[in-house]
């Protein structure tokens, strides 16, 4: 603990709060960034906010806190905080990070954070000398945590790239190409209007239902069973069907494994894939659709299109290698091993980065609230029991 406790004060007495404003003079590239609470969202030619101000999410990314490193334009979705004479600018940033601002937002369908709510929040206020010590301490310790987070992310990216290379090399072993339509049949889900939605009935699969390689009912709507029987029965999903989204990340193939999904109808933009002949291993098709060979062809076919998505018309123009059934199975096993390794490492990275974020926040809160004396403390223990990313083989 620090020495004697300081009296808590309302933030409105020590900092200035104002709303950001809409930027009408945007440019493609310019000297001044237009900032939201989550970062840069564009460029303009003149600033409305000075360096060292804190930009806070008012709507959208409610309660997010961003330090303006240079002059910028704070958008109308933000609140701008600047320090008064009794508040060190960098300490203000950490103070606002510790204030749990999202909890001060209105509890409505569209959460809103107001300057009044922030201004009425009370916080401990040490003298300027201690504020500087706390800010310097947190700057040093959070920078170390941020560097470790960056290294985890970089290592994860390298692992994904390595797995992609292994998959691409496996797909590239076969040099005999045929049109993809000779390998799989594809059918896009029907164009269903919101007026057709029902509170229950036949599930309508949305893109949110494609999760980690499996088709789920997450985020689904429902359709009248009678209308499905009359108009859309040929779109109903079967066990083992694959779905791919024409607008989401390339290569994201999901399989129908859950009996609850059987009989559901995919929404427009989702494409059903089924084997076009008997000697097709669908797991091999999944590997091809995740390959760079597929993504390069689709990217060329989409060039010049106003909407960056693909559909059956594009897929019908794609060619794919078609090896023997045994070679398809061998390629599938190689691709599965590479992708499983990347997914396991990505899961590990996500857990460790989540722990780092939690401990970073805990360190900031503890320092700002005076739970320890920063002149003698070290924040190094915030990363205890976390393996260094360099020690994990990609």
| Regions of the chain with pLDDT less than 50 | 1-4, 383, 386, 390-394
pLDDT in tens, 74-99: 999 999 999 999 999 999 999 999 99
63 is written with which tokens?
Answer: 């309660």
E-state strands within 191-336: 197-198, 202-205, 210-211, 214-215, 221-223, 242-245, 253-255, 265-266, 270-275, 319-321
**357, 349 contact by CB (below 8 A):** no
pLDDT given at position 313: 87
pLDDT given at position 243: 94
Q: What is the C-alpha separation between 10 and 14, in angstroms, rounded?
A: 8
pLDDT given at position 390: 46
- How far apart, in Å, are the Cα atoms of 111 and each of 17, 44, 90, 98, 106? 19, 28, 27, 20, 5
pLDDT given at position 381: 54
10 is written with which tokens?
Answer: 């309302």
pLDDT given at position 252: 77
**264, 241 contact by CB (below 8 A):** no
Radius of gyration of the chain (CA): 27
Q: What is the DSSP letter of 192?
A: -
pLDDT given at position 392: 44
Q: What is the C-alpha separation between 75 and 149, in angstroms, rounded?
A: 28
Q: What is the C-alpha separation between 255 and 66, in angstroms, rounded?
A: 40
Q: What is the C-alpha separation between 104 and 97, in angstroms, rounded?
A: 13
pLDDT given at position 372: 85
Q: If DSSP codes are grouped into helix, strand and coil, which group holds residue 134? A: helix
Q: What is the C-alpha separation between 95 and 135, in angstroms, rounded?
A: 9
* Half-sphere exposure (Cβ direction) of 147: Cα atoms closer than 13 Å: 7
pTM of the model: 0.74
Spell out the residues 6+ positions from residue 346 whose beta carbon is closer than 8 angstroms to its own. Answer: 156, 159, 160
Query: What is the length of the chain?
Result: 394
pLDDT given at position 1: 43
Q: What is the C-alpha separation between 337 and 85, in angstroms, rounded?
A: 60
């Amino acid at each position: 603990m620090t020495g004697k406790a300081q009296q808590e004060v309302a933030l409105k007495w020590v900092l200035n709060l104002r709303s950001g404003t809409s930027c009408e003079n945007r440019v493609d590239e310019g000297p001044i960034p237009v900032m939201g609470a989550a970062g840069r969202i564009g460029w303009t030619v003149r600033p409305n906010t000075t360096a060292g101000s804190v930009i806070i999410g008012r709507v959208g990314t409610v309660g997010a806190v961003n330090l303006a490193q240079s002059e910028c334009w704070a958008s109308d979705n933000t609140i701008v905080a600047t320090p008064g004479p009794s508040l060190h600018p960098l300490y203000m940033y950490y103070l606002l990070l510790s204030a749990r601002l999202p909890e001060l937002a209105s509890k409505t369908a569209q959460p809103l954070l107001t300057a009044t709510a922030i201004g009425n929040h009370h916080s401990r206020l040490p003298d300027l000398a201690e504020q500087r010590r706390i800010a310097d301490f947190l700057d040093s310790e959070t920078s170390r945590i941020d560097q470790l987070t960056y290294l985890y992310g970089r290592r994860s990216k390298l692992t994904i790239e390595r797995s992609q290379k292994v998959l691409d090399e496996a797909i590239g072993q076969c040099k005999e190409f045929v049109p993809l339509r000779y390998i799989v049949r594809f059918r896009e889900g029907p164009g269903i209007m919101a007026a057709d939605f029902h509170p229950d009935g036949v599930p309508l699969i949305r893109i949110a239902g494609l999760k980690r390689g499996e088709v789920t009912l997450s985020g689904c709507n429902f359709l009248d069973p009678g209308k499905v029987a009359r108009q859309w029965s040929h779109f109903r999903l079967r066990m083992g069907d694959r779905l791919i989204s024409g607008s989401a990340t390339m290569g994201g193939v999901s399989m129908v494994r859950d009996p609850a999904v059987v009989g559901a109808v995919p929404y427009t933009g989702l494409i059903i894939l089924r084997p076009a002949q008997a000697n097709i291993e669908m797991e091999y098709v999944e590997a091809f659709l995740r390959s760079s060979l597929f993504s390069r062809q689709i990217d060329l076919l989409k060039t010049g299109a106003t909407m960056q998505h693909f559909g059956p018309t594009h897929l019908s123009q794609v060619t794919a290698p078609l090896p023997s059934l045994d070679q398809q199975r061998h390629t599938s096993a190689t691709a599965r091993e590479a992708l499983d390794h990347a997914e396991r490492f990505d899961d590990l990275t996500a857990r460790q980065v989540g722990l780092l974020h939690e401990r970073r926040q805990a360190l900031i809160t503890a320092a700002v609230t005076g739970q320890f004396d920063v002149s003698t403390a070290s924040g190094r223990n915030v990363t205890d029991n976390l393996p260094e990313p360099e020690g994990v083989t990609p």
